[in-house]
């Protein structure tokens, strides 16, 4: 009797270990984890979107000026939260998927239990997202943006009519991630614009760090010296931050 109980206990421990190992391997091949844009992709030359005449005129007028979110340390918004030199973390659950970036202080939620956008939400920095799984890839529909920053790469101004369809596809046996984004906005683009980015999975156990624009940026005073509204009155150009 004791021998049987011992064998049963050992079997239970073995099954639990196998389950934990299988779960860990599944997680290593899923979306959950920390991802970093592959070296050389940030700032790389790409085909630019076809802008409307109004957007081109605004782009010319803004040439040389710092982006608004850089001037005032505003949230970077979607899709910039995914396209920068700092990592982001994806956390999966059955009903929603969260994306939290080091540079982006606003977490993004992709709702998996609906097939339409919320109608009672205010225009947002990251928009409103819902998703579904299609042939092993996560397909996300994003709309409901504010116009405080541009949500189209290469576009000079924000628009509340920007619409994005994203596809998240884990590749390379779980070591890589490809995100393809298609942008559509009649106020900014003359035709849809599609771009893809490749990301590398950071090693297991990696942790996401904190980043605060007006604290951690060593060029804060210099970069924002031209914009009095971007800092307290006590912070003058060239002054030392308290």
Determine the pLDDT at residue 184: 97
At 63, the pLDDT band (50, 70, 90 cuts) reads confident
Q: Between 59 and 149, whose confidence is greater? A: 149
pLDDT of residue 60: 84
Superfamily (CATH) of domain 30-211: Calycin beta-barrel core domain (2.40.128.20)
Stated pTM of the model: 0.77
Residue 98: predicted pLDDT: 97
For the chain, the structural domain boundaries read 30-211
Distance, CA of 204 to CA of 196 (rounded, Å): 25
Buried b (16+ CB within 10 A) or exposed e, 93-102: eeebbebbbb
The predicted-structure confidence for 13-54, as pLDDT tens digits, reads as follows: 444 443 333 344 445 679 999 999 998 877 666 788 999 999
């Amino acid at each position: 009797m004791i021998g049987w109980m011992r064998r049963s206990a050992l079997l239970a421990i073995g099954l639990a270990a196998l389950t934990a190992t299988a779960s860990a391997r599944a997680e290593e091949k899923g979306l959950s984890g920390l991802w970093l844009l592959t070296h050389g992709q940030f700032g790389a030359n790409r085909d630019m979107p076809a802008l409307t005449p109004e957007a081109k005129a605004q782009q010319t007028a803004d040439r040389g000026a710092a982006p608004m979110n850089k001037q005032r340390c505003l949230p970077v918004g979607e899709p910039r939260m995914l396209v920068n030199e700092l990592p982001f973390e994806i956390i999966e659950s059955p009903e929603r998927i969260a994306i939290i970036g080091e540079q982006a202080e606003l977490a993004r939620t992709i709702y998996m239990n609906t097939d339409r956008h919320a109608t009672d939400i205010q225009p947002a920095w990251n928009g409103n997202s819902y998703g579904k799984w299609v042939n092993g890839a996560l397909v996300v529909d994003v709309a409901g943006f504010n116009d405080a920053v541009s949500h189209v790469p290469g576009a000079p101004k924000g628009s509340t009519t920007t619409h994005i369809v994203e596809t998240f596809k884990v590749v390379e046996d779980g070591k890589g991630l490809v995100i393809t984004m298609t942008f559509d906005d009649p106020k900014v683009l003359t035709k849809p614009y599609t771009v893809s980015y490749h990301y590398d999975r950071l090693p297991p156990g990696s942790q996401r760090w904190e980043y605060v624009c007006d604290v951690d940026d060593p060029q804060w005073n210099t970069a924002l010296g031209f914009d009095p509204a971007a800092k307290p009155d006590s912070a003058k150009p060239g002054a030392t931050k308290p």
